[in-house]
């Protein structure tokens, strides 16, 4: 029986022979899935439709922009639900169920009437139909395949959002300019359908024979009783305020600084490129340094970025500010998807991620509105940017206070040490072991 136990231990503790290949295939598939998911096709393309809708229906720009806040509020409500579904049914099933509905919801905008309530309803239905396509589904799948190179794998998966952030607005602008905004929604819906074959043929759930290691960890309730949980939530509220403000207001900031509009509209490309770089570099760094060392470095860059924006930058300084912001924004969700297994284990990955993503959206929705009010009141973005600099510094302190990891690769494997196998050519005769050319059977002898 000891021999059987030893074999069972060795088989369970060993990595599956094709884990590396299947795991990286899942990570790359997640890159493609996230590049054509709602984080890109719904969020980053929203601004391209504002002017065409204003021209066709005469709706005010603030009224159109309110739909973006509705999107954020819907995300706050559905993110914990997505996390629960992903933990219970697995990311692949949730993605397969959501993909066709999300694509149809985008295509349905082709029939949008001259009605603001209908427009707002559309921006409730789009994130709801894309429930399973927000990042946590892909990131939980990817994380389940990796331990030693977890950070790099998550960085590869997350880079899909960065790639989409650069390409999707360009595609949307071309579609609107060529065929109009209604056809552009149809085109985005077709792109969204790519997620279904990607998930069906390329995504893979982690193998069950390593499941003992993969699913150890805290429940959501147990995690909520720890200090790191509340530090993470506080940090991500602040990160939501910083990132959302820069993404939404950066072009207006540059126009206020006197930068021509044709140049200001190109500066976000620098942010998008930096975001892609940050996804990959951050993952690589997280495999070598702790979260509490990596994230404060990015936040120092965030302080520099918002101070440059506050000063009214020229073109070179605007590019530098956008790049520093892109590095910070690109690191955020690499860090979140990495720290959850390290501080809380993998058991409630989806639910914890969903709660953190929800508070991130709350911070972003509140900040974008408050910054607009501040700009109107003071005639400048500078006061708001100075507040964001303080927020970056406070956020860095929160990450420094996280402390050591509570879970790591070695601590999650809880199987016993292997027992030495009995020597087959030894038998017990009296009190002395002697060599015998007999075949060993379980229970015939005990090892010396």
Cα dihedral 172/177/183/186 (nearest 10): -10
Q: What is the pLDDT at residue 214?
A: 46
Residue-wise pLDDT tens digits, 262-315: 787 778 788 888 988 998 899 999 999 999 999 999 999 999 999 999 998 999
Please indicate, yes or no, if residue 422 is contained in any of the structural domains. Answer: no
Q: What is the pLDDT at residue 162?
A: 85
Q: Take residue 168 and report the two structure tokens written for it.
A: 């999707």
Q: What is the pLDDT at residue 125?
A: 97
Residue ranges in the chain modelled with pLDDT below 70: 1-19, 207-215, 409-448
CB 167 within 8 A of CB 288: no
Count of structural domains, the chain: 2
Please indicate, yes or no, if residue 131 is contained in any of the structural domains. Answer: yes
Q: What is the pLDDT at residue 408?
A: 73
Q: What is the pLDDT at residue 437?
A: 43
178 shares a domain with 39: yes
Letter string b/e over residues 305-318, b meaning 16 or more CB atoms within 10 A of that residue's CB = bbbbbbebbeeeeb
| Domain limit, last residue, from 205, 230, 264 | 205
Range of the domain at 39: 19-205
Helix axes of 349-378 and 227-256: crossing angle, nearest 10 degrees:
40
325 shares a domain with 351: yes
| Domain limit, last residue, from 205, 231, 257 | 205
Mapped onto helix, strand or coil, the DSSP state of residue 289 is coil
Task: Name the residue with tokens 């490129």.
Answer: 273
Q: What is the number of other CB atoms lying within 10 angstroms of the CB of residue 446?
A: 9
Mapped onto helix, strand or coil, the DSSP state of residue 379 is coil
Please indicate, yes or no, if residue 121 is contained in any of the structural domains. Answer: yes
Q: What is the pLDDT at residue 409?
A: 55
The residues that bridge with 81 in the sheet, in sequence order, are none
Please indicate, yes or no, if residue 286 is contained in any of the structural domains. Answer: yes
């Amino acid at each position: 029986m000891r021999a059987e136990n030893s074999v069972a231990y060795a088989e369970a503790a060993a990595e599956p022979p094709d884990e590396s290949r299947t795991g990286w295939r899942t990570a790359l598939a997640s890159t493609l899935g996230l590049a054509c998911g709602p984080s890109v096709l719904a969020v980053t393309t929203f601004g391209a439709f504002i002017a065409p809708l204003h021209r066709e229906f005469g709706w005010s720009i603030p009224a159109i922009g309110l739909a973006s806040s509705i999107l954020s509020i819907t995300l706050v409500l559905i993110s914990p639900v997505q996390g629960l579904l992903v933990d219970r049914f697995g990311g692949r099933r949730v993605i397969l169920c959501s993909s066709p509905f999300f694509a149809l919801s985008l295509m349905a905008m082709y029939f949008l009437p001259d009605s603001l309530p209908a427009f707002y309803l559309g921006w409730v239905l789009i994130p709801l139909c894309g429930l399973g396509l927000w990042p946590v589904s892909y990131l939980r799948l990817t994380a389940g395949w990796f331990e030693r190179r977890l950070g790099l794998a998550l960085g590869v998966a997350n880079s899909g959002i960065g790639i989409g952030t650069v390409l999707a607005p360009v595609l949307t602008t071309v579609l609107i300019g060529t065929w109009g905004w209604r056809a552009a929604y149809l085109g985005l819906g077709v792109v969204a359908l790519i997620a279904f074959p990607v998930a069906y043929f390329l995504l893979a759930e982690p193998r069950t024979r390593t499941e003992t290691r993969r699913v150890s960890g805290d429940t959501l309730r147990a995690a909520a009783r720890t200090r790191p949980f509340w530090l993470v939530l506080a940090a991500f509220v602040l990160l939501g305020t910083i990132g959302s403000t820069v993404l939404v207001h950066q072009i207006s900031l540059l126009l206020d600084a006197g930068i021509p509009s044709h140049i200001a509209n190109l500066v976000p490309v620098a942010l998008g490129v930096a975001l892609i770089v940050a996804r990959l570099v951050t993952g690589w760094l997280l495999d070598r340094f702790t979260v509490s060392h990596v994230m404060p470095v990015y936040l120092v860059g965030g302080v520099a970025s918002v101070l440059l924006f506050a000063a009214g930058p020229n073109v070179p300084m605007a590019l530098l500010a956008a790049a520093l912001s892109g590095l910070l924004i690109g690191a955020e969700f690499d860090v979140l998807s990495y720290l959850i297994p390290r501080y809380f284990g993998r058991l409630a990955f989806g639910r914890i991620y969903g709660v953190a993503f929800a508070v991130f959206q709350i911070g972003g929705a509140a900040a974008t509105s408050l910054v607009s009010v501040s700009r109107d009141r003071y005639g400048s973005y500078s006061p708001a940017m100075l507040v964001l600099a303080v927020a970056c510094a406070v956020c860095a302190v929160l990450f420094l206070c996280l402390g050591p990891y509570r879970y790591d690769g070695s601590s999650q494997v809880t199987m016993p040490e292997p027992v030495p196998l009995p020597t087959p050519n030894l038998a017990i005769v009296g009190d002395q072991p002697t060599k015998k050319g007999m075949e060993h059977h379980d229970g015939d002898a005990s090892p010396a």
